[in-house]
């Protein structure tokens, strides 16, 4: 197996380690499980105002603010800390935990509780400050929506009261109760660091280790009281999660509204209406599909929030052209970019929506922010764009207008 030589430290930005981008400072704020209280939504909007006023939603349901002037870091950190969004200075970049956003309230386990315990245990384990910034945890409520997103350590609800430990997409055979689940995930992350040291690797991801999943399972069974089970193929979620926007009636009699951020961006104006809606809902959940979920609305109010959010340009209609379309920063914010991909992507959104597959625009081969799984890629070449589902179907297209037609065809290849 070939291994890329990795620098020991990754370059992932954080709230304290601000990246100097071409358009100013870029800070990434981790939101474990994607769950925010209304006051935290307000704090993020205030933090964004230190920069360009908007926020970017990431494919790990985190938030980025950009355009920060030099010297804004201290004020940013103070605001986040006061809102409970920066509980640990040492672990802030390793709090990468995605959780099922469960818009319908039918989850098999309380994902928010498990995620909260995992986050607290992670921050309380000094050795785990050394995890790479790319290392990812996932807590899946049984709907198989986030377990398929390539987490290093995943917890998948198998039935009420039982979660399976999934390592780099493979069922380990280890089972845990919801009360044990956070401890098992922490032990797996510690075993990753131990195995990485034993192999002398600078790996950032579990799959980069030789036989990583099996060796970590072995370490766990030697040191941790786990319940074994026959490993099973993981369930797959065939639904297009990126396209799930609109109203959802919840089991508890409330309603949820799911709204998409166009190209993964929320403007100051859109943050204002989301803040007001989260007050009514009681919380906000960010999803890895660059949508936001407002879960606890009164059924008679959900329609009004849908139209208010839609009036500010948020995507609440599944047939909207922007649903499932994302883009990296591109020019002028990124010095590596070959094109202003966001502007070009916006031009194609004037055309009708074109099929079920998500689309990601990239300004160079690094493909920052590309969603996991099958994605129609639009890659800037310097002379135009290449469009396609994979290397074989990718075709050269001259300009953004010609890209539109190619996109419609490629997105239908489900
Ligand atoms: S994919 Fe390339 S152009 Fe786009 S943000 Fe990443 S480095 Fe910059």
- 390 to 161, 234, 375, 413: CA distances (angstroms): 40, 24, 8, 11
364 C-beta closer than 6 A to ligand 1: yes
Structure token digits, residue 35: 């769950």
327 C-beta closer than 6 A to ligand 1: no
User: Looking at residue 238, what is its pLDDT?
Assistant: 56
Structure token digits, residue 120: 């607290």
Q: Which of 363, 370, 371 to mutate to test the pocket of ligand 1 (most atoms within 8 A of CB)?
A: 363
Q: How far away, in angstroms, is 312 Cα from ligand 1 center?
A: 28
User: Looking at residue 169, what is its pLDDT?
Assistant: 94
Structure token digits, residue 107: 């989850």
Closest protein CA for atom 2 of ligand 1: 364
5, 13 contact by CB (below 8 A): no
367 C-beta closer than 6 A to ligand 1: yes
329 C-beta closer than 6 A to ligand 1: yes
336 C-beta closer than 6 A to ligand 1: yes
Multiple choice CATH, 325-411, 3.30.413.10, 3.40.1280.10, 2.102.10.10, 3.40.50.150:
3.30.413.10
381, 338 contact by CB (below 8 A): yes
366 C-beta closer than 6 A to ligand 1: yes
* Ligand 1 atom nearest residue 338's Cα: 3
Which strand ranges, in their side-by-side order, compose the sheet holding 265-266? 19-21, 24-29, 63-68, 55-57, 265-266
User: Looking at residue 392, what is its pLDDT?
Assistant: 61
Q: How far away, in angstroms, is 393 Cα from ligand 1 center?
A: 22
3-state secondary structure of 199: helix
Structure token digits, residue 94: 């390793």
User: Looking at residue 1, what is its pLDDT?
Assistant: 43
What are the DSSP E strand ranges found in 189-269?
227-228, 246-249, 255-260, 265-266
31-54 in b/e form (b: 16+ CB < 10 A) is bbbbbbebebbbbbbbbbebbbeb
Q: How far away, in angstroms, is 272 Cα from ligand 1 center?
A: 28
User: Looking at residue 103, what is its pLDDT?
Assistant: 79
The rounded distance, in Å, linking the Cα atoms of 406 and 23 is: 31
Q: Give phi and psi for 171, each to the nearest 5.
A: -65, 125
What are the DSSP E strand ranges found in 41-120?
55-57, 63-68, 97-99
What residues have CB less than 8 Å from 387, skipping those under 6 apart?
Answer: 376, 377, 378, 379, 394, 395, 397, 403, 406, 407, 410
54 C-beta closer than 6 A to ligand 1: no
* Ligand 1 atom nearest residue 331's Cα: 3
Mean pLDDT in order along the chain per 10 residues (414 residues): 59 91 95 97 97 96 96 95 97 97 87 96 98 96 92 96 95 94 97 96 95 94 76 74 87 95 97 97 96 95 97 94 93 94 89 72 94 88 86 68 75 63
State the angle between helix axes of 111-123 and 178-199 in degrees (0 to 180), rounded to the nearest 10: 40
Q: Which of 21, 22, 23, 336 to mutate to test the pocket of ligand 1 (most atoms within 8 A of CB)?
A: 336
Phi-psi region of 174 (alpha: psi -120 to 50; beta: other; left: phi over 0): beta
Burial class (CB in 10 A: 0-12, 13-18, 19+), 300: exposed
Where are the chain's structural domains?
Answer: 325-411
The rounded distance, in Å, linking the Cα atoms of 387 and 361 is: 9
Omega cis (within 30) before 194: no
User: Looking at residue 314, what is its pLDDT?
Assistant: 97
3-state secondary structure of 188: helix
The string of DSSP letters for 256-295 reads EEEEEPTBTEE-HHHHHHHHHHHHHHS-EEE-TTSEEEEE
334 C-beta closer than 6 A to ligand 1: yes
pTM: 0.92
Q: How far away, in angstroms, is 379 Cα from ligand 1 center?
A: 10
368 C-beta closer than 6 A to ligand 1: yes
What residues have CB less than 8 Å from 357, skipping those under 6 apart?
Answer: 240, 324, 374, 375, 376, 389, 410, 411, 412, 413, 414
Structure token digits, residue 363: 């300004």
* Inter-residue long-range contacts of 70-74, CB under 8 Å, 24+ positions, other chains counted: 70/25, 72/25, 73/16, 73/18, 73/25, 73/27
* Ligand 1 atom nearest residue 363's Cα: 3
What residues have CB less than 8 Å from 352, skipping those under 6 apart?
Answer: 321, 408
Q: How far away, in angstroms, is 364 Cα from ligand 1 center?
A: 5
Closest protein CA for atom 6 of ligand 1: 368
């Amino acid at each position: 197996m070939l291994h890329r030589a990795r620098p020991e430290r990754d370059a992932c930005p954080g709230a304290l380690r601000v990246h100097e981008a071409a358009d100013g400072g870029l800070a990434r704020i981790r939101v474990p499980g994607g769950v925010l209280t209304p006051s935290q939504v307000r704090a993020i909007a205030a933090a964004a105002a230190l920069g360009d006023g908007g926020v970017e939603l990431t494919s790990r349901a985190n938030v980025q603010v950009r355009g920060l002037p030099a010297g804004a870091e201290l004020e940013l950190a103070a605001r986040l800390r006061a809102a409970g969004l920066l509980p640990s200075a040492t672990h802030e970049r390793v709090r990468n935990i995605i959780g099922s956003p469960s818009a319908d309230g039918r989850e098999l386990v309380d994902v928010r509780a498990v995620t909260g315990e995992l986050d607290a245990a992670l921050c309380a384990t000094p050795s785990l400050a050394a995890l790479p910034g790319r290392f990812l945890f996932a807590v899946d409520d049984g709907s198989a929506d986030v377990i398929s997103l390539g987490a290093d350590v995943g917890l998948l609800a198998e039935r009420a009261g039982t979660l399976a430990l999934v390592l780099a997409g493979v069922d380990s055979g280890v089972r845990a109760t919801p009360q044990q689940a956070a401890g098992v995930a922490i032990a797996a992350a510690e075993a990753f660091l131990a195995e990485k040291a034993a192999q002398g690797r600078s790996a950032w991801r579990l799959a980069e280790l030789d036989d990583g999943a099996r060796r970590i399972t072995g370490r766990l069974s030697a040191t941790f009281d786990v319940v074994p089970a026959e490993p099973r193929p993981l369930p797959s979620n065939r639904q297009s999660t990126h396209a799930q926007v609109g109203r959802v009636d919840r089991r508890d009699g409330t309603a949820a509204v799911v709204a998409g951020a166009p190209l993964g961006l929320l403007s100051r104006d859109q943050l204002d209406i989301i803040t007001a809606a989260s007050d009514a809902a009681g919380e906000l959940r960010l999803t890895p599909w660059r949508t936001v979920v407002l879960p606890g609305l009164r059924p008679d109010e959900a329609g009004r929030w849908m139209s208010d959010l839609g009036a500010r340009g948020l995507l609440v209609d599944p047939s909207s052209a922007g649903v499932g379309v994302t883009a990296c920063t591109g020019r002028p914010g990124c010095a590596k970019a070959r094109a202003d991909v966001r502007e070009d992507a916006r031009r194609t959104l004037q055309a009708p929506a074109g099929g079920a597959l998500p689309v990601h625009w990239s300004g160079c081969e690094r493909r920052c922010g590309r969603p996991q799984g099958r994605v129609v890629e639009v890659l800037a070449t310097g002379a135009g764009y290449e469009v396609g589902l994979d290397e074989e179907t990718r075709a050269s297209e001259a300009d953004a207008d010609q890209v539109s037609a190619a996109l419609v065809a490629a997105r239908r290849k489900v």
